[in-house]
Amino acid sequence: MGYPDNAIYAIVGYVVTTSILVGYAVVLFLRTRKEQRAQR
């Protein structure tokens, strides 16, 4: 291998990143739905 066996750090980092970004997208989506319902 030659390099340190530390993929776990990257995995955690990517999981956190994706959760935050997708999480925010979900929040925005719920707000969008709520707003569209209220507009009727």
**Mask 7-36, x = binds another protein (CB under 8 A)?**
xxxx-xxx-xxx-xxx-xx--x--xx--x-
CA pair distance 4, 14, nearest whole angstrom:
18
CA of residue 6 relative to chain centroid, distance? 22
* Smallest gap from residue 9 Cβ to another protein (A): 4
* Smallest gap from residue 21 Cβ to another protein (A): 7
Q: How many CA atoms lie within 13 A of 15 on its CB side?
A: 6
State the residues that interact with another protein by CB under 8 A: 2-10, 12-14, 16-18, 20-22, 24-25, 28, 31-32, 35, 38-39
